[in-house]
Structure 1
Amino acid sequence: MSDNLSLKTFVVLMKAAKSIEELIKKDISSHGMKSSDFAVIEAVYSKGRQTIRQISEAVLINTGSITYVIDKLENNGLVERVDCKEDRRVVYIQITDKGKKLMDEIFPKHQQVIEALFEGVTSEEKEIVLDVLKKVGRKGEALR
């Protein structure tokens, strides 16, 4: 019975993830962006300047693909590369004034979509979901 419940939980989790992903893609595209572009610019908007590796780890995009996304965002004047004074091998990515202005406009709208998604879910339920997903995620990492 437990195995059956695990399988059912997995299927529901995957369906929920797909539904959420489609909703978020639709929201982001309504602002004229692709999900990968939004993820990168949101990372530097929220956390400040970061290395390409830090951004890659945060948004789960491999470094080869992320360079293309950063190039595109840089060409549009939304982010810029800044050399590290202490280590010439390190290059930081930071948001520009134009990028910050854009995110100041669209991020609150994006956040409202996420809030609507969790409407009717109590804080306690959100904490439980967080704990369970972290536990499952750690187990998945261990089994890889």
Structure 2
Amino acid sequence: MSKEDQVIMAFRDLYNKLVWLNKDKMEDSLKGYTSSEVHCIEYIEKNADSNVTQLAESFYMTRGALSKLTKKLIEKGLIESYQKSDNKKEIYFRLTEQGKAINKIHDDLHKEFQERDKAVFEQVTEEQFESILRFAEKYSRHLDVEIKKQGLDVNSE
């Protein structure tokens, strides 16, 4: 197996283990909400003046799919839409109090998982972190170029 294959397999294996390990607690604590809904709530909380285009780009989904997702979140009372006085064309989203409560549960779970895994990260040197991050950023930029080459555009339907 090539080094490239080993790296990809290692990342995939890590991701799958994290999902499997966290799944039950996430599902129990966030019953009634899909992963996409929870991560959309998280994005809106962390990014002021979020709109459908930004969300679609962030989640690699079409604007149409994201519009359906935000509509569900509005119906569930988790987000609300608004417009700015200087731009009546664009629609933005913010969390309701109920949405903030869901985001807090999700955030607390992530903190709990970080605490569980802290022993590993404490052993990683600053240089190792920098190297891992440089690689991830370089690979991500490469994938962005490949996405553009294939004409894949999350903003087209």
Same structural fold, with TM-score higher than 0.5 when normalized by the shorter chain: yes
For the aligned residue pairs, the C-alpha RMSD in angstroms reads: 2.4
Task: Determine the structure 2 residue equivalent to 1:126.
Answer: 129
Return the letter of the residue paired with 2:94. Answer: Q
Number of residue equivalences? 142
Segments of structure 2 that go 5 or more residues without pairing to the other structure are 148-157
Percent identical pairs in the alignment equals 18
- Work out whether 1:12 is the aligned partner of 2:15: no
**Residues 1:27 and 1:49: Cα distance change in structure 2 (over 3 Å):** farther
**Residues 1:62 and 1:22: Cα distance change in structure 2 (over 3 Å):** farther
Local SS of the residue matching 1:61: coil
Q: How does 1:1-144 map to 2 (within 5 A)?
A: 4-30=2-28, 31-32=30-31, 33-117=33-117, 119-121=119-121, 122=124, 124=126, 125-144=128-147
**Deviation by residue 1:60-95 (Cα, 9 ceiling, x = unmatched):** 333222112111111111100112322332000111
Q: How far 1:123 moved relative to its partner?
A: 5.3
Q: With structure 2 as the length reference, what TM-score do the two structures score?
A: 0.75
The structure whose RCO (Cα within 8 Å, separation 6+) is larger is: 2
Report the more deviating stretch, 102-111 or 127-136.
Answer: 102-111
Q: With structure 1 as the length reference, what TM-score do the two structures score?
A: 0.81
Q: How far 1:118 moved relative to its partner?
A: 5.4
